[in-house]
Amino acid sequence: MAHVPTKARAVIIGGGVIGCSVAYHLAKLGWKDVVLLERKQLTSGTTWHAAGLIAQLRATANMTKLAKYSQELYGDLEAETGVSTGFKRCGSITVALTEERKEEIYRQAAMARAFGVDVEEISPAEVKAKYEHLNIEGVTGGVWLPLDGQGDPANIALALAKGARQMGAQVIERTKAMGVMRNGRALQP
Ligand SMILES: Cc1cc2nc3c(=O)[nH]c(=O)nc-3n(C[C@H](O)[C@H](O)[C@H](O)COP(=O)(O)OP(=O)(O)OC[C@H]3O[C@@H](n4cnc5c(N)ncnc54)[C@H](O)[C@@H]3O)c2cc1C
């Protein structure tokens, strides 16, 4: 049975990619007293099932900035932690099948560009030239992001957990959080 400290500045419940990322970033900010509890094994939840697509074309400014930051972080994480993340910058193409959808993805592309994302609006012929197996019948336009890619979601989470540990966080598996208290009173779910 793992030793669980009786107090900590931050207790993170759940060792999926989000919990591991929160632990990593708090530790990076210099928080020394961070504990992550995972009821089973790290990455045993949804993270284990993800396809691992890392895409920066997003509908809102904050999501765009977060996706750009993640793409950059995942590119460096393997060198920093020694855990293979499988991250490949293969690029991505998003296609539209209507004029309205084209306008939407072009607007997202313009916003992404404003935040420094490498992105290009492309014609159906250019889509075909980049990926010849695609049937472009009905395609009205596309967006190409050369720095998008795909990685191994479980290993990315494990790399974040290792980075968090290296910076002083405690990661404890097979330990389930049974409740949350505030000022000595249990919070209702
Ligand atoms: C089929 C599929 C494909 C996907 N593809 C992509 C993709 O290509 N790109 C992308 O960005 N996203 C993708 N996603 C979404 C992505 O997987 C999730 O957004 C992400 O994994 C969520 O991470 P999480 O840490 O919030 O949750 P989880 O990975 O589910 O982690 C939650 C953890 O909390 C633990 N836990 C729960 N209760 C307790 C407790 N009481 N005490 C301690 N621990 C507890 C669980 O055991 C679990 O490990 C995909 C999802 C699926 C299902």
List the CATH number of the domain containing 182: 3.50.50.60
User: Domain for residue 41, yes or no?
Assistant: yes
Do 146 and 67 fall into the same domain?
Answer: yes
Q: Domain limits at 16?
A: 1-52+152-189
Count of domains forming the chain: 2
Domain identity same for 48 and 67? no
Ligand 1: which residue has its CA nearest to atom 36?
14
Task: Let me know if 126 is exposed, middle or buried by CB neighbors in 10 A (0-12, 13-18, 19+).
Answer: middle
Model pLDDT, residue 189: 61
Cα 125 to Cα 119: distance, rounded to the nearest angstrom: 17
CA-based nearest residue to 34, from 57, 54, 5, 71: 5
Band of residue 185 on the pLDDT scale cut at 50, 70, 90: confident
List pLDDT tens digits, range 108-119: 999 999 999 999
Judgement on whether residues 71 and 31 belong to the same structural domain of the protein? no
pLDDT of residue 51: 97
The model's pTM is: 0.94
- Are residues 69 and 126 both part of a single domain? yes
- 176 with 187, same domain? yes
Distance CA 88, CA 74 (A): 10
Give mean pLDDT, residues 72-88.
95
Is there a single domain that holds both residue 13 and residue 39? yes
Tell me, using a 6 A CB cutoff, whether residue 13 lines ligand 1. Answer: yes
> Looking at residue 184, what DSSP letter applies?
T
| 48 and 68 housed in the same domain | no
The pLDDT value recorded for residue 1 is 62
What tokens were used for 185? 């009173």
Judge if the beta carbon of residue 179 lies within 6 A of ligand 1: no
Ligand 1 centroid–CA 153 distance in Å is 10
Distance 16 CA to ligand 1 centre (A): 5
Are residues 128 and 157 both part of a single domain? no
| Assigned domain for 57 exists | no
Do 142 and 96 meet the contact criterion of CB atoms below 8 Å apart? yes
Q: Are residues 12 and 77 in the same domain?
A: no
pLDDT tens-digit profile of 132-182? Answer: 999 999 999 999 999 999 999 999 999 999 999 999 999 999 999 999 988
For residues 108-131, average pLDDT: 97
Predicted local confidence at residue 2, as pLDDT = 74
